């Protein structure tokens, strides 16, 4: 699968842009604020129906306009498929494939898979468990539709259970029968999610270690991920009952897979406190490449790889290794950005890599010859 055309209208700082992609490696080069990341953001919309940055759709409309349109053509086997996403009219987002509107966006997600490595990934190291859970949930949801459904079931029952706990506190009376139905549905979904998260961590770890080892070219630094769950070694159903009085006082459920975490480590030390910035960045790149492997294996074809500001914080040796890795034939189509064109062009030339290069200036795109 590859993206062969991209058309933007009033998206971020682009009034209008039309690009044709040739080959498999595409570089967007240009100064800070010129619109390189915005192009990756647009590709992210076509794949996952939303941007990568967490901005609202409204924030992605070009200032002074009232709607945006992102359209792309994907080549998939013999077929060409046009995918488009627009937002603005009646504040509604529309996604379509081959001219047919989707009624549910979840039908689109996973068809044109993508893995993105971006500076904001650092929040996976620095922030709390919630962002790591969200990362794992996003990957697992693309790998397993049932996981997505179980997760939605769990989350909605958790919200309702917490509502019940508050109601019991107000009324000073507990409806045990009603509570038991919620506990049972939550526990059923939690069993599945707990198992899948554990399996996924075990599967991801060797892939992470392999990519990290290649990037850093030495074996002393060993990255790891461990799954830490409040469910480990306990009977969840019994634990919910055991904690009931306290949970009623607090108005929330204090045990369950919504409190899970995934601990990142380097040679058995906590990555956040122990790892340098370059080591943390290398870890995150290796983690995303492991995600790439999982998605490739599941789909039988390669996702697009978006590398935003990828060289930042990496030393020259790691940059060379990274270029070798991503252009070594293991990956499919790659889009990368760099604010220092010289650095990317040198790295490409050093690796003898043929890439399509674009200069980005103030929301304008021109192919470099």
150 lines the binding site for ligand ATP (CB under 6 A): no
Q: How far is the CB of 338 from ligand ATP (least distance, A)?
A: 8
Per the DSSP assignment, residues forming a β-bridge with 194 are none
214: left (phi over 0), alpha (psi -120 to 50) or beta: alpha
User: With respect to ligand ATP, which residue has the nearer C-beta, 59 or 367?
Assistant: 59
User: With respect to Mg ion, which residue has the nearer C-beta, 10 or 37?
Assistant: 37
33 lines the binding site for ligand ATP (CB under 6 A): yes
User: With respect to ligand ATP, which residue has the nearer C-beta, 139 or 336?
Assistant: 336
Q: Which residue is nearest to Mg ion (CB)?
A: 37
Q: How far is the CB of 324 from ligand ATP (least distance, A)?
A: 24
Q: How far is the CB of 69 from ligand ATP (least distance, A)?
A: 14
User: With respect to Mg ion, which residue has the nearer C-beta, 225 or 365?
Assistant: 365
For residue 270, give the 3-state DSSP assignment: strand
For residue 253, give the 3-state DSSP assignment: coil
CA distance 31 to 42: 19
Give the residue, chosen from 286, 339, 348, 355, that forms a contact with ligand ATP under the rule CB under 6 A: 339
Q: Kindly give the pairing relationship between strand 2-11 and strand 14-20.
A: antiparallel
321 lines the binding site for ligand ATP (CB under 6 A): no
What is the rounded radius of gyration, in angstroms, for the C-alpha atoms of the chain? Answer: 23
User: With respect to Mg ion, which residue has the nearer C-beta, 37 or 333?
Assistant: 37
The site map against ligand ATP for 236-255 (x = CB under 6 A) is --------------------
37 lines the binding site for Mg ion (CB under 5 A): yes
Listed residue (12, 79, 92, 18) closest to 44, CA to CA: 12
Give the residue, chosen from 26, 36, 132, 302, that forms a contact with ligand ATP under the rule CB under 6 A: 36
User: With respect to Mg ion, which residue has the nearer C-beta, 37 or 229?
Assistant: 37
CA distance 60 to 133: 26
The site map against ligand ATP for 278-317 (x = CB under 6 A) is -------------------------------x--------
Listed residue (330, 319, 308, 325) closest to 121, CA to CA: 308
CA distance 290 to 279: 16
Q: Give the distance, in angstroms, between the CA of residue 107 and the centroid of all CA atoms in the same chain.
A: 18
Residue 65 CB neighbour total at 10 angstroms? 12
Give the residue, chosen from 3, 7, 12, 229, that forms a contact with ligand ATP under the rule CB under 6 A: 12
Q: What is residue 62's DSSP assignment?
A: P
Asked whether 294 and 207 are in contact (CB, 8 A), the reply is: yes
Asked whether 16 and 277 are in contact (CB, 8 A), the reply is: no
User: With respect to ligand ATP, which residue has the nearer C-beta, 13 or 296?
Assistant: 13
49 lines the binding site for Mg ion (CB under 5 A): no
For residue 80, give the 3-state DSSP assignment: strand
Give the residue, chosen from 7, 37, 85, 183, that forms a contact with ligand ATP under the rule CB under 6 A: 37
Give the residue, chosen from 7, 19, 29, 34, that forms a contact with ligand ATP under the rule CB under 6 A: 34
Which residues of this chain interact with ligand ATP, rule CB under 6 A?
A: 12-13, 30, 32-38, 59-63, 309, 337, 339
Binding site for Mg ion (CB under 5 A): 37
């Amino acid at each position: 699968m590859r993206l062969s055309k991209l058309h933007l209208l009033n998206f971020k700082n682009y009034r209008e842009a039309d690009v044709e992609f040739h080959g498999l490696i595409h570089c967007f080069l240009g100064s800070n604020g010129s619109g390189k990341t915005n192009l990756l953001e647009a590709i992210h919309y076509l794949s996952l129906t939303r941007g990568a940055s967490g901005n609202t759709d409204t924030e992605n409309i070009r200032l002074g306009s009232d709607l945006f349109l992102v359209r792309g053509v994907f080549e998939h086997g013999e077929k060409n498929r046009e995918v488009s996403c627009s937002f603005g009219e009646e504040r509604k987002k529309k996604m379509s494939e081959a001219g047919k509107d989707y009624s549910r966006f979840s039908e689109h997600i996973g068809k044109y898979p993508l893995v993105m490595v971006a500076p904001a990934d650092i929040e996976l190291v620095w922030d709390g468990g919630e962002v790591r859970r969200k990362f794992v949930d996003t990957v697992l949801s693309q790998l397993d539709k049932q996981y997505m459904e179980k997760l939605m079931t769990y989350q909605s029952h958790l919200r309702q259970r917490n509502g019940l706990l508050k109601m019991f506190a107000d009324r000073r009376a507990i409806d045990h029968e009603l509570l038991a139905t919620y506990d049972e549905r939550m526990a059923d979904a939690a069993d599945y999610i707990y198992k899948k998260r554990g399996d996924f961590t075990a599967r991801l770890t060797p892939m992470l270690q392999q990519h990290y080892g290649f990037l850093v070219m030495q074996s002393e630094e060993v990255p790891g991920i461990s799954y830490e769950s409040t469910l480990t070694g306990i009977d969840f159903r019994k634990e919910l009952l055991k904690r009931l009085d306290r949970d009623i006082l607090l108005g929330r459920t204090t045990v369950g897979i919504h409190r899970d975490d995934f601990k990142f480590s380097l040679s058995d030390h906590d990555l956040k406190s122990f790892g340098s910035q370059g080591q943390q960045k290398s870890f995150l790149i290796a983690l995303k490449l492991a995600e790439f492997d999982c998605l490739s294996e599941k789909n039988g074809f390669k996702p697009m790889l978006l590398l935003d500001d990828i060289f930042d914080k990496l030393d020259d040796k790691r940059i060379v290794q990274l270029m070798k890795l991503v252009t070594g034939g293991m990956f499919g189509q790659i889009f990368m950005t760099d604010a220092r064109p010289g650095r990317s062009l040198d790295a490409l030339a050093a690796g003898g890599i043929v890439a399509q290069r674009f200069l980005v200036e103030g929301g304008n795109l021109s192919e470099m010859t």
